Amino acid sequence: MDSYVEIKLRPDPEFAPQLLLNALMGKLHRGLVLAETSAIGISFPDNTDKPRSLGQRLRLHGAASELGGFMEGRWLAGMSDHVTVSVVQPLPEVVGHRVVRRVQPKTNAERLRRRYQRRHDVSAEEARRLIPDSVEQSVSLPFVTLRSASTDQRFALFVSHGPIQGEATAGVFNSYGLSQSATVPWF
C-alpha cells in the first residue's frame, strides 16, 4: 500500500452525517464487489468510541494503480453532492499501521436460536437449551447500517480499529474494505 484517497462528507441540512455514511458504505461495498478486488482497505480517521462514531471521513488505502482504477468506476454515482473526494495521493512518510475489522457480536439469542434451528433441523426447545440468553453480548463499537443485497435485510456493520502498530501486515480485504489481519496505514 503506497497511496490513499480521502472521502469527506459534506454538511447537509437534510441528511444526518450517519445517514450519509451509511449510503457511502453501501455504495463502496457494491463497488468493491463489482471490482472484484481484495486489495483495497478502508479506515475512518475520525473514529471515536465516546461518543461512538466513525466520523465524517473515510480513507481508501491501496496501491496507486488499484485505487486509480477503482476511482474511475461509477461506484460513487449519486453521492457527488454529499462528498468531497481527493485525488489518489501518496502516503505521508511517517505512518503507523492498524487493523480495521468487522466485529460480529452475538447480540440476539433468539435470532441465533432460529438460525440454529434452520441449519441443524432441531426443535425450538432444543435450540433454547443449547443457546441460552447468556450468549448475548452488548456492543459499544461504532457502526454503519447497511442493507444486505442477498436477503434485503438491514444490519449493523460494527467496525473496530485495532491498536497502532509499527509495521504493516499484508493480507486481503473483504468486500467492505475490512480485514481480520491485514493493516492499513494510519496517520
Q: Which residue numbers are catalytic? A: 29
Cis check: omega of the bond before 51, within 30 degrees of 0: yes
CA distance 42 to 5: 10
Q: How far apart are CA 37 and CA 68, in angstroms?
A: 13
Residues in a beta bridge with 96: 186
- Identify the sign of the CA torsion 153, 161, 179, 56: positive
Contact between residue 62 and residue 41 where contact means Cβ atoms under 8 Å apart: yes
- Grid coordinates of 158: 460494527
